[in-house]
Chains A and B, each alone.
Chain A
């Protein structure tokens, strides 16, 4: 580590006064930090998001991405943020059944469209065939990219009941997995396709 770093005696303790006012918990829960005085209305919105079949009412800022709202006030932490730039697809959710990067869309734009997160892929305790296959084929290691991968794989099977390995690779081509789960993800998805046929 760089020299000029860190030891206890170097910590310059400064107490920062905090107003009791605007409750921190409230701010966090609503993910709508006041910041500087916001313009009225159009910069904060009361919306109803349809997530996993349930209507969720939430107050959000314009700048809040769908990923942030899902993970924050909606407490659906299955959706992960890997790069926050749409380059890794860890934040994949379905919008009306189509996989998109939830970090690259503002929550306020979602409107009436149906959002499906990884939490909504299973039916109660009954896992989706893709999820079963992912477990059986060990299509995961650390698991951070897994929710997005599973949603991409499951969406593919809705479009294409008999995908080839290349079809699967294309469908998941936006995903970055550092652990190297790709081969097992492909095998699992093909197996899930087989299982659904039967």
Chain B
């Protein structure tokens, strides 16, 4: 190792394990540990270890936010607009105020400002109150009188674009920015309900289209999908004179803490955000939200803890959603399928909010010299969208991967062979090879070839997602004098099992087993960790965990070396012992070594450093690694052409995430992405009655989420794609696993029935209509 100031040079194995690794050198911070070899050579990393809180989850012992009930807790409910668009002229809370069980009332609408005294979607919060029981709160809501003057409204994406439609926002009043994970481009023009376009381009798309031998043009639609977190949004806010504590079902404790400090003018050290069990977020629980602000204000007013939890209908109407899109895609290609131009125009609706785009999928995935996209947000009087598992790229992949499949058909090239010509990624090439063999691509027949009412087909699609990293991600590791080891970070476990992954990282470094590491997360009393969105948790927190453990080990070695007659550099930690590398019989147990610590403990806190060789892009605390994440998915379906019912029989998912840390948990995550993608492809749809502007399936009965009997055979393979970019080289999986599923299924449906569906969901109604057996809605 050559040292050079604050950096030193190291050599990393780079490439896909099993395909070919080459040595590459990197400059890494001098204090960081040496490169990790491939997983096969590691003791604990890359092994299928069960999650550490598994026992708590299967016994019901783990406490979710909804389970937290401090002494004296009050129950809050929100009064919501019954109108999709209305002026709020007066609010009379006098009867509710007279109710002795009502302890606080907080308004969400500022009546004194006519520009703000408006509700713009059914379910928009008007006020919240806290009472001594849930039933008292519900009854008190009924006592509130609100004088609304309804206004015209529009909930349909197409209709909202017409100039004569009702306007969601008066001129100048439309939101210009967004909070949370997604950042809408600022300063875009707004005309009527249409904001945009946000443009991206390279080359000259008009010339590219003109130069094409073949043009594929299509319109593709995706529906509004809701998150359906099984644990509703909620918090228990406890405002006390000495500080604010909030138990919050959140994907970002540290971020919410900052939001609270800002919103309520509190110093950070007087705000604590805590979460233990967290029942799903999928992108909808990254911010404080209106409901969060209301609950804290109620607690402050009442001088008591307040729990505010959304009911399932509220979840469906007002906790965020994946926006709907309408995409017009044009592909220009040569006769062999190589691309000359990609043009994407999309109009999406996130209701009253922003970020209804189609991501960077079409822009980034394939070799194509000429590209242009214009993405528009269309305001409608409906609940605001929020990030949802691979926002943008999920609907974007539906459009583009379907269009590419149509191109393959047009030029008579097998879809896999076409990808080989246009896809520059060697990782996805390997993924295609593996997946094609597993699904049996060779036996794929021509579209619609099966006889009989049940027709089978095979299709594939690809996934592209930025490898996100949050640089402001810190973790403290401690070795205590009795040999116990702790790790502490505010990072939250939203179900991905980051606890055991952190434990594996530290255990590998210290020569211990994961169950010997006590991992404490989900509390802003600990060093601030990353958010758990954008599939960035593992990539953000495992490198500093390894670095911190590594630095502690150096200190431990320094303590143990004299007792072993060794130099520190001669010591290794393995199998629970500290040993001399050259004389393994000379050693002591880890606990013995720890007993030599002079204080009570050794502690190191580390923050995520830059990727070795730098990030591709940095935006504040968020960064993008140089190499994107990806995956390829294959689907086999059976379509009953007499009834329109699509059954997915098999999904093969081949994904990459840098260094896979825990194949058991990765498989769970991939199952989750695939099933959410399958459900998006076939069943889910927010249905808004256009005459009332109200969601008519605001439940889990008529809003259809794939259940156990819809599950296909799911074969998973994860590549070990080493890049030598951080102390663990581990990246995320949750979103990449969700992107390719719907178009893979759609392309399989085409292969089965020879008729192309371009809109989601592919319900039996849609299939029968596509087959010409029943008209679409008039």
Residues of chain B within 8 A (CB-CB) of A138 are 50-51, 54, 497, 664-665, 667-668
Contact B60 A22 (CB under 8 A): no
Taking a contact as CB atoms under 8 Å apart, the answer to whether A180 and B675 are in contact is: yes
- Which chain B residues lie closer than 8 Å to A11 at the CB level? 106-107, 297
Contact, CB under 8 Å: B136 / A131: no
Instruction: Scan residues 304-332 of chain B and give those whose CB is less than 8 A from a CB of chain A.
Output: 304, 311-312
A184 lies within 8 A of B705 (CB) = no
* Stretch of B119-127, B407-415, B452-460 at the chain-chain interface: B119-127
B708 touches A88 (CB 8 A): no
| B64 CB contact (under 8 Å) in A83, A144, A174 | A144
Q: Which residue in B64, B277, B312, B705 is a CB contact (below 8 Å) of A85?
A: B312
Beta-carbon contacts under 8 Å, A154-193 to B: 168-170, 172-186
Whether B58 lies near A17 (C-beta < 8 A) is no
A42 on the B face (CB < 8 A)? no
Q: Is the CB of A24 within 8 A of B59?
A: no
Min distance, Cβ A150 to any Cβ of chain B, angstroms: 6
Contact, CB under 8 Å: B54 / A180:
no
Decide yes or no whether B63 CB sits under 8 A from chain A: yes
Residues of B near A195 (CB, < 8 A) are none
A 18-57 binary contact with B (CB < 8 Å = 1; else 0): 1101101101100101111000000000000000000000
Q: Is the CB of B312 within 8 A of A141?
A: no
Chain A residues whose C-beta falls within 8 Å of the C-beta of B692 in the assembled complex: none
Q: Is B71 in contact with A4, judged by CB distance below 8 angstroms?
A: no
- Complex Cα distance, B263 from A10, in Å, reads 12
Which A residue's beta carbon lies closest to that of B707?
A: A173
Q: Are A2 and B121 in contact (CB under 8 A)?
A: yes
A192 to chain B, nearest CB (A): 11
Contacts of A180 in B (CB 8 A): 668, 671-676
Query: B709 contacts the other chain (Cβ, under 8 Å)?
Result: yes
A182 CB, min distance to chain B CBs, angstroms: 5
Q: B454 CB to closest chain A CB, in angstroms?
A: 19
Given contacts A33-B135, A179-B280, contact A18 B668 (CB under 8 A): no
Whether A24 contacts B74 by the Cβ 8 Å rule is: yes
* Of listed B74, B497, B707, residue having the most chain A CB within 10 A: B707
Using a CB-CB cutoff of 8 Å, which residues 636-669 of chain B contact chain A?
A: 664-665, 667-669
A15 touching B301 by the CB < 8 A rule?
yes
Complex CA gap A136/B54 in Å reads 9
* From B175, B280, B304, B675, contact of A142 by CB (8 A): B280
- Neighbour of A181 across the interface among B169, B301, B353, B668, CB < 8 A: B668
Does A3 interact with chain B (Cβ within 8 Å)? yes
Task: Check: B246 CB closer than 8 A to any chain A CB.
Answer: no
B711 engages A183 (CB within 8 Å): yes
Contact of B700 among A5, A83, A143 (CB under 8 A): A83
Known contacts: A3-B169, A144-B279. The answer to whether A178 contacts B74 by CB under 8 A is: no
Q: Is B61 at the interface (CB under 8 A from chain A)?
A: yes
A141 and B667 within 8 A (CB) = no
Contact of A90 with B by CB under 8 A: yes
Q: Is B467 an interface residue (CB 8 A)?
A: no
- Give the Cβ gap from B265 to chain A, nearest Cβ, in Å: 7
Collect the chain A residues with CB atoms within 8 Å of residue B60's CB.
76-79, 117-119, 147
Nearest CB to that of A82 among chain B residues? Answer: B230
- CA of A81 to CA of B97, assembled, Å: 30
Q: Do residues A178 and B228 form an inter-chain contact, with CB atoms below 8 A?
A: yes
Is B104 among interface residues, defined by CB-CB distance under 8 A?
yes
**Which of A27, A71, A143, A173 contacts B57, CB < 8 Å?**
A143
Question: What is the chain B residue whose CB lies nearest that of A23?
Answer: B132
Q: In chain A, what residue has the closest Cβ to B179?
A: A1
- Whether B231 sits at the interface, judged by CB under 8 Å, is yes
User: Is B105's beta carbon under 8 Å from chain A?
Assistant: yes
Among A12, A85, A172, A186, the one with the most B-chain Cβ atoms within 10 Å of its Cβ is A12
- Distance between A140 CB and nearest chain B CB, rounded to angstroms: 5
A176 and B230 contacting across the interface, CB-CB below 8 Å: yes
Query: Is the Cβ of A135 less than 8 Å from the Cβ of B55?
Result: yes
Are B136 and A179 interface neighbours, CB within 8 A? no
| Cβ contact within 8 Å between B671 and A178 | no
Question: A133 to nearest B CB, angstroms?
Answer: 9
Q: At the interface with chain A, which of B110-118, B576-584, B752-760?
A: B110-118
- Cβ B669 vs Cβ A141 within 8 A: yes
CA distance A175 to B708 in the complex (A): 7
Decide if A197 is an interface residue (CB 8 Å cutoff).
no
Does the CB pair B57–A140 fall under 8 Å?
yes
Least Cβ–Cβ distance between B220 and chain A, in angstroms:
25
Tell which of A13, A24, A135 touches B132, judged by Cβ atoms closer than 8 Å: A24
Contact of A80 among B66, B278, B664 (CB under 8 A): B66
The CA-CA distance from A81 to B309 in the complex, in Å, is 11
- Find chain B residues with CB under 8 A from A18 CB: 100-103
B59: which A residues are within 8 A, CB to CB? 78, 118-119, 121-122, 127, 131
Return chain B residues, CB-CB under 8 Å to A181.
Answer: 668, 671-672
A27/B71 contact (C-beta < 8 A), A35-B139, A80-B66 known: no
Which residue of B72, B133, B311, B495 is within 8 Å of A141 (Cβ)?
B495
Task: List residues of chain A with CB within 8 A of the CB of B133.
Answer: 27-28, 31, 33
Write the chain A residue with the least CB distance to B81: A2
Give the size range of A's interface with the partner.
Answer: 35 or more
The contact of B231 among A33, A80, A118, by CB within 8 Å, is: A80
B108 within 8 A of A: yes
CB distance from A105 to the nearest CB of B (A): 18
Chain B nearest CB from A168 CB (Å) reads 8
What is the chain B residue whose CB lies nearest that of A150?
A: B58
Known: A4-B116, A33-B101. A176 touches B705 (CB 8 A): yes
A77, B63: Cβ atoms closer than 8 Å: yes
Set of chain B residues within 8 Å of A17, measured between Cβ atoms:
100
Contact B277 A144 (CB under 8 A): yes
Is B699's beta carbon under 8 Å from chain A? yes
A88 to B69, CA, bound (A): 24
Chain A residues, Cβ within 8 Å of B280: 142, 144, 178-179
B190 to chain A, nearest CB (A): 12
The CA-CA distance from A81 to B139 in the complex, in Å, is 21
Chain B residue at minimal CB-CB distance from A75? B69
- For residue B161, CB closer than 8 A to chain A, the reply is no
Does B352 touch A at the CB level, under 8 Å? yes
A169 with B290: CB separation less than 8 A: no
Question: Which B residues are CB-close (under 8 A) to A182?
Answer: 671, 675, 707-708, 711
Chain A residues with CB under 8 Å of B108's CB are 5-6
Across the interface, do A142 and B279 meet the contact criterion of CB distance under 8 Å? Answer: yes
On whether A144 and B58 interact (CB within 8 A), knowing A33-B101, A135-B50, the answer reads no
Q: Would you call A112 an interface residue if the criterion is a C-beta within 8 Å of the partner chain's C-beta atoms?
A: no
Please indicate the chain A residues that have their CB under 8 angstroms from the CB of B714 in the complex. Answer: 183
Most buried by B among A24, A82, A127: A24
Q: Decide if A134 is an interface residue (CB 8 Å cutoff).
A: yes
Q: Counting CB contacts under 8 A, is B494 at the interface?
A: yes
Q: Mark interface residues in A63-79 (1 if CB within 8 Å of B CB, else 0).
A: 10000000100011111
Q: Is the CB of B173 within 8 A of A136?
A: no
Most B CB within 10 A of own CB, among A134, A137, A143: A143
Q: Is B229 an interface residue (CB 8 A)?
A: yes
- Is A145 an interface position by the 8 A CB rule? yes
Q: Tell me whether B290 and A87 are in contact (CB under 8 A).
A: no
Q: Give, as a whole number of angstroms, the nearest-CB distance from A139 to chain B.
A: 8
| List of A residues within 8 angstroms of B494 by Cβ | 142
Using an 8 Å CB-CB cutoff, how does the interface string of B357-382 with A read, 1 for contact, 0 for none? 00000000000000000000000000
Residue from the set A16, A88, A140 with the largest chain B CB neighbour count within 10 Å? A16
Residues on the B chain within 8 Å of A12, using CB: 106-107
Known: A176-B700, A182-B675. 10 other contacts (CB 8 A): A6-B293, A10-B107, A16-B102, A18-B102, A24-B103, A36-B139, A71-B67, A118-B60, A127-B58, A142-B280
Please list 24 pairs of residues, one from A and one from B, whose beta carbons are closer than 8 Å in the complex, sorted by A's number.
A2-B121, A3-B120, A11-B106, A22-B100, A24-B132, A27-B133, A33-B136, A77-B60, A77-B64, A77-B66, A118-B58, A127-B55, A138-B665, A140-B51, A142-B230, A142-B494, A143-B64, A173-B708, A176-B230, A177-B230, A178-B227, A178-B705, A179-B495, A182-B708
Kindly list the 4 A-B residue pairs having the minimum CB-CB distance in the complex, ordered from nearest. A78-B60, A142-B495, A180-B672, A144-B279
